[in-house]
Every structure is written in C-alpha cells, then in structure tokens.
Amino acid sequence: MSGHDQLVLCLCELTRLLWKLFLPLVILCALLLTVLVLLVLAVRYWLQSSRNARRARDGRPTVAFLHPYCNAGGGGERVLWCAIRALQNRYTDINIVVYTGDLGVTGQQILEGARRRFNIVLPRPPQFVFLRHRMLVEPNLFPHFTLLGQSIGSIFLGWEALTEFVPDLYIDSMGYAFTLPLFRYFGGCSVGSYVHYPTISTDMLSVVRERNPRFNNPDYVSNSLFLSAFKVVYYCLFALLYGMAGSCSDLIMVNSSWTLDHILSLWRAPNRTSVVYPPCDVSAFLDLPLEEEVDKKCHSIVSVGQFRPEKDHRLQIRAFKKVLDRRREGPGGRESLKLILIGGCRNQQDEDRVLMLRGLCQELGVGDRVEFKLNIPFEELKRELAESTIGLHTMWNEHFGIGIVECMAAGKVILAHKSGGPKLDIVVPFEGGQTGFLADDEDSYAEAIDQILALPPASRLQIRRNARQSVARFSDQEFEICFLAAMEPLMGTLER
C-alpha cells in the first residue's frame, strides 16, 4: 500500500471516529446547557421569591442604588443624595436602599457626612446594605488589565448586593455597567443607570493608538509598538462587552454632552438615553458677594476635586510653578499668589497621592505657596471660594465638572481643561459674553493665569457675572426636574 493510500485510510478512520464522537458531544452539550438554564431559572425563582416575600412584608416597592463609595465627598456622591432626595419628595410610598461598601461607618454617619459636605438633608433615612467585598473593585487589586479586573469584580460585588437585598428597581449610580444584566436577568428587576463617565471611550482608544503617555497609558506601553497594538485589541474587545452590558439598561441617564456621545456609540440605545446634568449647589454660593476686586494684595487660586490621578493635580502644581518663576520676590510678586488644593480622599491610596503631591511641591520649591485642604466642611469650602480669584481645574476629558460649576456660581474666574464637559457644556459663552478660560498644558495654563491676573478688575468682574448667570441650568432644582422626568416611565411600572 502506497504512502498516499495509507494517508487516505488514516483520514477516513479519523473521520469515522469524529463522527462517532459527534452525537455524544452534542448530547453532552445539550445536557450541560439544560442544566445551566435550569440553574439560572432556579436562582431567578429564588431571588424573585425573596423579593415577593419582602414586598408582602413591606407593602411598598423599593428602589436601590449601587454606590459602594457613598461616603466619599465627590460629585458622584452629590448626584446620589440629590437623586434620593428627589425621589423621596415625589414618591412617599417607596423605600430607598443604598448598597455601600463603607463598612467603617454607620448609616447615620454617612447621612451626616452628606449634610456636612453637600448641605443635603434627606426627608427620610434610606436603608443601607453594607457590602463586604468592595475591595473587588479597587483598582490597586488589578495592576494590569484594570478595566477588565474591576468589571469582573463588580459582577461579584453586584451578586453580593443582589443576594443581600432584591429590589424592584435597580439604579447603578457609579458606573458598574456589568451589574445591569445581573439584576435584570437574575433578579428580574427593572434597571437604570446614571453614567458619570464611560468605563472606556473612543478617546482612550485614540490615546493608545497614537501612543500618547497618560495616567492610564504608562510610558512602557506607549513606547512599545507591540504592547500598544495588544492594548488596542484589548480595549476594542472590552468596549464590545461594555456595550453589551450597558444596553441591558431600561433607562440611561448621562451627565454631559461628551458622555452622551460616547454612550450612544457604545451602548447604542438612543431612545432610552437622555442628558441629566448633575446637581450643583448653585444657590449655596449665590450669597457670596460679587464685587470689583480693588487693591487686592494676594490672589489665591483654588482647585476643587477629589485627589484622584485623572484630576492631574501635578499639572496644576507645575503650571503654578511657572507662574511663580515669572514673578519677582516681595509684595506684588511671588508672595502675592497661593494655590489651594481642596478635595476628598477616599482611601489610603488617595492619601498616599497627597503625600506625593506635597513632595512634588517641595521638590519644585513652591511648598510655601501651596496649601492642601482635605475633606473640609461645606462652610469652609464656601469661605475659601469667597476669598479666591481663580478656580482651577485640569482633568483631561472631565465628564462634567461639578467643582467648575461651583467655582463659577461663587463668582470666580474659572480656568479649566479644553476638553470634555467643560469645553462642551460649562465654560461656553453666555448671551455672547465670556464665562471663563480653557487651557490644555503647563504653558497654556500658566499663560492663562497670568492673563487673568493682568485683567482690569472691571473686566474680571464682567466675566464673573456672566459665569454666575450661566450656571443656573445646573442647579439642584433643574436636576430634580430632569431626573424625575427621566425616571417617570420606570417609576410608573412599580406596583404600589
């Protein structure tokens, strides 16, 4: 028998063997699929039985918010408390639950923190469900493939939340989109989301494709063609999964035009998506005097924002250093300027970041002109804004920028990054008048600060007036109106 005939014979035998195995494999796959479906149905039945028992006991529906860091002091937390307040004022016959990972405090302490930091008091205290596994969404747990790791971690955290308490309506208010299918298909809940910032965006893909170094694209990746190509593929696959998870939402609210564009391109649900600008405590700052600054001896530049890497406080300090370098010593020079960094620290990682920033100040020789104020009360924030001249913000592609709006409401001349929400929604002309300044690197920030300080007091006053008048569209009242209008279709589905 020739070699060719032997090869043909072997191929025939292999084909017969595979055909014999095919039917058992099909049967096995069918059995496994059946077991999986039955398991999902059993879990769903168990969770829905738990919800029905709770409904029979309480006699009213429950709306639950997933916000593992609800005791932090950022803009996302302010949105949470204003949303809860709006629902409680409108619907007196519902329960509110907050899933939180803040294990070191009580519910009363969390509410007291909201009152102290945001000047928000709820009509009724919500129920808090304390989650034990918040560490699963901590970025330091995943030094590599952080987006994927945190998203998988959020699924486990969402499962803990769902098994602890099954609501009627679930709202993801912190950007954990991968929990949406969990609550919808396993919990049988109506689901909604308020998106502050897309987990991944086309801008992030552009940064990697163009090999630009950023806080989320370190030098060793941007300098490598292979690693950059691999990261692009990883981001594209992740974006596909993220879009599939987000599309499960019955209702999608986004906080800015910039976020809207990205969510529409990823989640592809335009008929369920609307812009609801976040609530900014505009009224609390309107009582600050808006007067011409005559003979002001010292000008302070105030930055308001959590101490997170994307806020880019390093850029603020380096730009401030350049401004000081251009000024002489003595009255009217270096000593007439100071930079005040105000923000919240969520964890030890943020506190370490503050230590690093303090070290940078000492390294650059500006430590005597830079102050750090952490987790300060609301009244102290107002006092600092009242005494300042410039409000500073440096985050690239900031999704919105509540701190920017607060500075404008307080009558400060704002200087923000020329991207994202500040560029598209906030620092835009009002009735033809200028409302602030935009910059995008150390030099342009330093030049803008010099330009603002060189303006005649009357010109600065006009910009401040325009800015204050323009931010009325971001007030708590406007947020409540838009938030309740967006929520109404889902609230109407709840059985009372």
Q: What is the mean pLDDT of residues 217-238?
A: 77
Q: At what angle do helices 225-246 and 202-209 cross, to 10 degrees?
A: 170
Q: How many CB atoms lie within 10 A of CB 196?
A: 21
Q: What is the mean pLDDT of residues 434-461?
A: 94
Q: Is residue 371 classed as helix, strand or coil in its secondary structure?
A: strand
**pLDDT tens figures, 232-266:** 888 899 999 999 999 999 999 999 999 999 999 99
The pLDDT of residue 496: 58
The pLDDT of residue 216: 60
Q: Beta partners for 130?
A: 100
* Distance from C-alpha of 381 to C-alpha of 343, rounded to nearest angstrom: 10
* Distance from C-alpha of 377 to C-alpha of 392, rounded to nearest angstrom: 20
Contact between 196 and 402 under an 8 Å Cβ cutoff? The reply is no
Does the pLDDT value for residue 139 go beyond 80?
A: yes
- Backbone φ and ψ of 122, nearest 5°: -80, 145
Reported as half-sphere exposure (CB side, CA atoms, 13 A), residue 316 has a value of 32
Q: What is the mean pLDDT of residues 211-226?
A: 64
The pLDDT of residue 232: 82
Contact between 143 and 220 under an 8 Å Cβ cutoff? The reply is no
**pLDDT tens figures, 328-381:** 654 566 778 999 999 888 778 889 999 999 999 999 999 999 999 998 888 888
Q: What is the mean pLDDT of residues 178-184?
A: 96
334 contact partners, CB below 8 Å, separation of at least 6: 324, 327, 328, 369
Reported as half-sphere exposure (CB side, CA atoms, 13 A), residue 72 has a value of 24
User: What pairing do the DSSP bridges indicate for beta strands 169-172 and 413-417?
Assistant: unpaired
Q: Is residue 430 classed as helix, strand or coil in its secondary structure?
A: strand
- Which domains, ranges and CATH numbers included, belong to the chain? 60-279+478-495 (3.40.50.2000), 282-474 (3.40.50.2000)
Tell me which amino acid residue 136 is: L
Alpha carbon distances (Å) from 413 to 234, 280, 313, 443, 475: 41, 17, 19, 18, 19
Task: Determine if the pTM surpasses 0.75.
Answer: yes
